Structure 1
């Protein structure tokens, strides 16, 4: 017994010597470092590993490469415009902008400098004169055009042929939709595979600009100016890097009973019934709700308000010769050159690093509140302690991501180089909000297909005017087709991009406000910016004032007043002249911005 006690005493002495004060301090320090590391991980990357507790027996998809910078295309070749002249060599087809005498208007949010937009102004005649505005006046000093003889589809294809040598072999012309057999078809009769994958396609370096319209739409003169300018300034001035398409909702849910996909004759009748002006008929693609139901029976909802991207998903499936798809609206108005505007937005997105792209997208950059974009960039980084909430795929159990693995495991060890020079898979036109933060988003509970329900990480970026890559649209299509996964329209593109680890960008385009001196209102939008954010991922509360006075916001009523007054038609005598219009020599000059929405006056 004594020997045993001696052995125990010896062991106890050794035990006490091992746990000295110094070793306890070291142990506590190690525990503290581990705890803080886990806290940071849960704060900055807690969505990256949701659902990873159980093994996933599904076959993982092929992942995209970590780096994917494409070489620049060769120099653009000039194309012919509607007057038969090469654009850039025809004064009658030129936009006639000028610089403003005095300081250029400072945006309420966003920036001209960072987006690279020209600081120019134009009158309505200088902007839309090449496209028919004012041609009924005696002082119209441009060559007149018989617009009913113009075929914008042919002009776009001629431009592509002049530039074919610039593009990879994957690029093709867009067939005349009046004569080509429709590619859209009901699911059981489609000639394309029901699911297609990103690695099946080579880059074409072309982008489709898809303008949504519908049967019964009343095409006013300003709509025609808009569409003509969009095609001329994007496709024809870019050497066919763009292709404008009209995507026409036939509104069969409102009693239109012609089954346009039943036969070629039925489709031809649909083209006649669609009401598209003759000059645009060769670029009109028709779709119906019945088509969407045949492809997405598990979704159960196909109305535009809920699933605006379903036709775009089918477009990517059936027309994979485009790398990217812009969804634009008929009620948008580019007050400057549309092609230069989209080129600038695309360039900003291409050059944005992946690190903290989501975090930067969750704040509006307001120069008056934070200074230039460099300061904004720095404060977002500080608010996130050098980390990122979206580093690689934002893991949810239902999604097997196709996006690339990050170059390093910890975003704090990356110096904002990853993704620079790569095309963005998702480009939004306004800032994004976290659906899981306090908010009054009307669609917050509209989600299906996720075991976490409304707790699933989602981001919404209204309005749903966005650019999506073919790769992104194809994985959304597959998720809806096979699993019935759904989120509302304005959350679809950003959320799926983040779940798959695809590149997202919000180029901070300039936006103005009617009440520029209402600083209390602006403060409610700013909400302290990055410095006041506890997470670094947007303001802590997503609620904000109504956006009726903004130049670009889904519920704005100021945008149409700006446009129509600029065009020479005052909508409301009691409404003061929009302050962003400058009066010089008896003419109104507008800055280089985009307006939305510009509804038809009643």
Structure 2
């Protein structure tokens, strides 16, 4: 560390880089033409006066034929029908030949991407009848051609309860915390918040993730989840006659009885999740009260207080809540809110897409709209908003002349460009929360929500700020970089060699004719960069946590890199950062600054760029959490490192033209592998593979370690 520290002592003062690219990322959709409103026959001979006159003459000749003898009429009719058949057949053949010719001209053979030549990895699909202890597991990437897996008649291991929570009843916990009161699904306390189950092992030859790791987040790497243990307690496996969803009736069941026999059947349709969360919090209110709360009977000894988190899912009117989606929502609420004694609350932030509906003016209209668009069990956790409301809340002016580029071609209040407006507004209404998870409806997680999110949050708090932006800009590939500490040292060395000034506190830049919003005092560095010994930031909660790297858009040809509004366009663009996929945890204090920037300074940017850039400008603590990501191909590690971490031109960046490299991964905005793995895990047949027959003939139901899937665009299980 000392060598790295000395290297930075010779670096110049901060000078933000303003590199831009003239390359267009893609053909963006243009304004639709009105040609579809015009008759397709306009301009055709069929619409001419001559054609209509010929038709009239033909009609008269047909009339004279009808008045002739039946025999002659039959012959004429036969000839007519035969002619029509010949003409139609010939027309079809000609059209087919023309279509084929057009395809040859218009659709040349696609040139495969380089990664499509790599061998396919299939170990992620191995099932519970091949389970091995974690110490005996050999990843698929390390297997030899003659490696074979042993498939048993039934799962060789028994499922276990997953309990990632602190031991709330232990003397160690109670010494510093208030007791945790048990929470229930119903007001009568008939049904306690249920447990979920996992197997204490992994399938033999299971594929290993290429980047990220479980251990750094405290997520157990030695267990896997299959669908009965994961979703059975939420109504997945028992039939509708027993108030369940009955989704497992036509799927493989091997070993499921051991879980089926211990779960309690609950009619979740009658659960009021909002009421359950409210009661749980009230029972445990003391855990979150001010630090003045003292230990009963011991004067002056204080108990630790916990911060609360809102887990906000962004949905919209017209959204179809599938049965699998309901299972996921029940899991989130139970595992995050109820089982934790109120540390989280789950909310639906519902976008009312029709601006003509005055949800702000009438409680009756508000409730009618909500109940028509949200399942009954979720009514009390839903909050409605509309773009019309945001126009009133953030009136601007957002001047077009101060907008660098609007690649989306949409209004500044359109949710596509400013989805963060609604979250900023929501945070202003809910001052009881310290953090807000901004979650998307097409994300799924196969593991335990509390284990993962708490692990990520605690890891973020442990990270020192020194070189934090530089570490967070890269993918950690353990297979080539080694452990996280080794990776950190490598990043620091490369940062020093690059001669770029590291980010240290709020970044200053030329604002031109506009003033800059002052940064909070607590985000300013307590010492110089050189004097800090990797101490600043340790123990400080992260203000921003993302699941993709915090990259510099100016070094890429990402299409939305210039969508910044409210900044002086006569000076260079301000420095920016972005993280693809708008899923993140944001602190209340940072959301407050985002809110101030929007209403006071009239600043905003594309949603994936706005929170990271506000963090950069104002010195908030921002981290990319390197969660495990799997790929469907066996990539050479040096090639993977080059492609994702060392592009030589903006066009090669994985956040631009190079984004095709993400298609075979389990997490990115266009990752095709993510949805395929999720549906196969549910028991679906995907592109001719999987499903009940394949599971029963192979190694059984898939068993995944905790895995974040995005996007999942549908969940049909046939």
Q: Please classify the TM superposition score into its range, dividing by the shorter chain length.
A: 0.7 to 0.9
Equivalent residues, number: 494
1:62 aligns to what?
Answer: none
Check if 1:131 corresponds to 2:242.
Answer: no
> Structure 2 matches for 1:112-191, cutoff 5 A?
112-119=214-221, 120-136=223-239, 140-141=260-261, 142-169=263-290
- 1:557 is displaced (CA, Å) by 1.5
Shift of the 103–373 alpha-carbon distance from structure 1 to 2, 3 Å rule, reads farther
Check if 1:392 corresponds to 2:505.
Answer: yes
- Alpha-carbon contact 2:644-2:654 (below 8 Å) kept: no
Matches of 2:684 and 2:690 in 1, distance apart? Answer: 12
Matches of 1:403 and 1:72 in 2, distance apart? Answer: 30
> Structure 2 matches for 1:183-202, cutoff 5 A?
none
- 1:520 is displaced (CA, Å) by 7.5
Matches of 2:698 and 2:288 in 1, distance apart? Answer: 44
Matches of 2:670 and 2:654 in 1, distance apart? Answer: 23
Matches of 2:697 and 2:622 in 1, distance apart? Answer: 39
Q: What value does the CA root-mean-square deviation take over the aligned residues?
A: 3.2
- 1:102 is displaced (CA, Å) by 5.2
> Structure 2 matches for 1:244-259, cutoff 5 A?
244-253=346-355, 257-259=356-358
Shift of the 338–380 alpha-carbon distance from structure 1 to 2, 3 Å rule, reads same
1:46 aligns to what?
Answer: 15
Partner residue of 2:338 out of 236, 261, 277? 236
- Alpha-carbon contact 2:505-2:525 (below 8 Å) kept: no
> Structure 2 matches for 1:97-116, cutoff 5 A?
97-100=199-202, 105-116=207-218
- Alpha-carbon contact 1:443-1:488 (below 8 Å) kept: yes
Unaligned runs of 5+ in 2: 1-6, 18-174, 240-245, 250-256, 293-304, 399-410
1:474 aligns to what?
Answer: 592
User: What SS does the aligned partner of 1:450 have?
Assistant: coil
Unaligned runs of 5+ in 1: 1-35, 49-70, 172-202
Matches of 2:557 and 2:639 in 1, distance apart? Answer: 17
Check if 1:451 corresponds to 2:555.
Answer: no
Matches of 1:247 and 1:540 in 2, distance apart? Answer: 31
2:628 aligns to what?
Answer: 510
Matches of 1:378 and 1:365 in 2, distance apart? Answer: 12
- Alpha-carbon contact 1:388-1:411 (below 8 Å) kept: no
Q: Greater Rg, structure 1 or structure 2?
A: 2
Shift of the 170–204 alpha-carbon distance from structure 1 to 2, 3 Å rule, reads farther
Check if 1:282 corresponds to 2:251.
Answer: no
For each residue in 1:325-361, what CA deviation from the matched residue of structure 2 results, as whole angstroms up to 9, or x when unmatched? 0011111111010111100010110111111111111
Matches of 2:316 and 2:479 in 1, distance apart? Answer: 41
1:560 aligns to what?
Answer: 675
User: What SS does the aligned partner of 1:122 have?
Assistant: coil
2:548 aligns to what?
Answer: 430
Matches of 1:76 and 1:429 in 2, distance apart? Answer: 31
User: What SS does the aligned partner of 1:208 have?
Assistant: strand
Matches of 2:525 and 2:276 in 1, distance apart? Answer: 44
Q: TM-score w.r.t. structure 1 length?
A: 0.76
Matches of 2:614 and 2:697 in 1, distance apart? Answer: 45
Matches of 2:439 and 2:472 in 1, distance apart? Answer: 20
1:460 aligns to what?
Answer: 578
For each residue in 1:124-163, what CA deviation from the matched residue of structure 2 results, as whole angstroms up to 9, or x when unmatched? 1111111111112586433222122101111111211221
1:302 aligns to what?
Answer: 413
- Alpha-carbon contact 2:504-2:525 (below 8 Å) kept: no
- 1:588 is displaced (CA, Å) by 1.6
2:557 aligns to what?
Answer: 440
- 1:509 is displaced (CA, Å) by 0.7
